[in-house]
Amino acid sequence: MGTSYQRKTRRSRRKMQDLDNHEIRVEVAEGKASFQMVLPMSPLLAEVAGAIEQTATQAGLLMMKALIDEEVEQVAGTRYGHQADRQATRWGHDEGHVIYSGRKVAMPRPRVRSVEGREVPLERYQAFAHPERMEESVSQRILRRVSTRDYAGVLDDVCEGYGIAKSSVSRHWKAASSQQLKDMLERPLGDLDLCVLFLDGKEFHDFTLIVAVGVDRQGSKHVLGLWSGATENSEVCGALLDDLIERGLSKDKPYLFVLDGAKALKKAVVSRFGSKTLIQRCRVHKKRNIQKYLPKKYYGLLSMKLKMAWGMTEYDKALKELRKVHDWLASINQAAAESLEEGLEETLTINRLGLPAQLRRIFSSTNLIESAFSRAGDLCRGVRRWRDGNMACRWAATVLLEAQSHFRRIQAYSQLPQLINAMATLLDRQEAAA
């Protein structure tokens, strides 16, 4: 007669190995057996840690409920207690929620009515359920590159909640970014002691945005505002400047305007701040505009010649060297020479002011705005459809304000008094010559 054997599968063998990993001690004494099992501590601690987190969450929710109930008792008095001067009474409960851990968690909303029959608002419940708490949570995560579709996946699974579907998250983000844009466009500027203004037109996806950033006399940088338009024309630029003036930007104080290569920006600035306004044209934009008319084989030589001319400290020598660059370009391409000639002297305003090397480097271009927008590409990578200019402005404002929170004072800010004195001296000289 054959012997039957039971074949062990890998799964059964794995179970047996797991059991073998635990140490079991058996003691027999006086007809009784006792067992002692030594279990690994790490897996148990992991389970306990999860339970502690859930317990802490429940404790937080209970604390919220207790605070709300305490406010109800303060307003309506002790439940079932006689109170002759009672000013309000309990009126049951409604379905409600609080914002907890980035989501809405269901919690009954107690209702209280005054003796006249009017609803009495509960401040603590309103604080715990305020939409701004949800908007802030959504905004913080989206600014950390979390898409609306993945929002629910980044929340800690410590309690059940709702309001975290992609459509709900998108609405909260729209509300939060709209508020940030509103705060930026309504912020008063009269208290800012500005001395330098950067203006640049940015192609933000399918839209053109004009952005203004200011530097005060202490060297701190401030995002002043933005304006949307189909193109970088003088009307759009003027609308932004009019908005800044209406919010407190003085037209009587001297400023150094650092502009990109657009003629529209210069026209808008001059029409509002006068023909004697000090304008520094962005050298980076100027070089790019010239390169559009040249073959690539001339790019390196052009950069070297421009760097040599712009790097000179004395204005007269720098202007003479730029004239040589102009003549060289004319021998290659007349359009490139005309591009350099347009606003040529305005690329040397910082040389006319006699600024130190560090300030000349900072105020020679609009790279400050470029740097603020450097995070935009990564932040907006998940956006597949740009519906309108309002959406672009909301995202751009959020990007700029996030960048502003990381701004530091400009390098060589201690040298800014030299800039202010030089501007006053140059303007006085221009008025005397006129």
The residue-averaged pLDDT of 111-128 equals: 94
Tell me if residue 172 falls in helix, strand or coil.
Answer: helix
Q: Where are the beta strands (DSSP E) in 158-299?
A: 194-204, 207-216, 221-229, 256-259, 278-281
Q: How confident is the model at residue 146 (pLDDT cuts 50, 70, 90)?
A: confident
* Distance (Å, whole) CA 376 – CA 202: 11
The residue-averaged pLDDT of 28-54 equals: 65
> Please, are residues 37 and 22 in contact by the beta-carbon 8 Å criterion?
yes
Query: Which pLDDT belongs to residue 198?
Result: 96
Range among 71-80, 196-205, 312-321 rated most confident: 312-321
Each residue of 328-356: b (16+ CB within 10 Å) or e? bbeeeeeebbebbeebbebbbbbbbbbbe
The residue-averaged pLDDT of 289-309 equals: 95
Quote the DSSP letter at residue 297: G
Any idea where the domains of the chain sit in the sequence? Answer: 89-186, 189-433
Residue in the block written with tokens 């909303």: 109
Q: Could you read off the pLDDT of 132-141 as tens digits, one per residue?
A: 999 999 999 9
User: What percentage of the chain reaches a pLDDT higher than 70?
Assistant: 87
What is the β-pairing status of strands 278-281 and 256-259? parallel
> Residues 6 or more apart from 257 whose CB is under 8 A from it?
196, 197, 199, 269, 273, 277, 278, 279, 280
| pLDDT over 50 at 14, yes or no | no
For every residue of 144-212, DSSP letters joined together read: TT--TTTTGGGS-SSS--BS-SHHHHHHHHHHHHHHHHHHHHH---TT--EEEEEEEEEEETTEEEEEE
Q: How confident is the model at residue 8 (pLDDT cuts 50, 70, 90)?
A: very low
The residue-averaged pLDDT of 288-310 equals: 95
Q: Chain-wide mean pLDDT for the chain?
A: 86
| pLDDT over 90 at 106, yes or no | yes
Query: Which pLDDT belongs to residue 355?
Result: 93
Query: Which pLDDT belongs to residue 18?
Result: 46
Q: How many Cβ atoms from other residues are within 10 Å of residue 172's Cβ?
A: 22
| pLDDT over 60 at 28, yes or no | no
User: What percentage of the chain reaches a pLDDT higher than 90?
Assistant: 55
- Report pTM: 0.79
> Please, are residues 269 and 257 in contact by the beta-carbon 8 Å criterion?
yes
| pLDDT over 50 at 337, yes or no | yes
* Distance (Å, whole) CA 62 – CA 119: 24
Quote the DSSP letter at residue 73: H
| pLDDT over 50 at 156, yes or no | yes
Query: Which pLDDT belongs to residue 383?
Result: 80
* Distance (Å, whole) CA 138 – CA 136: 5
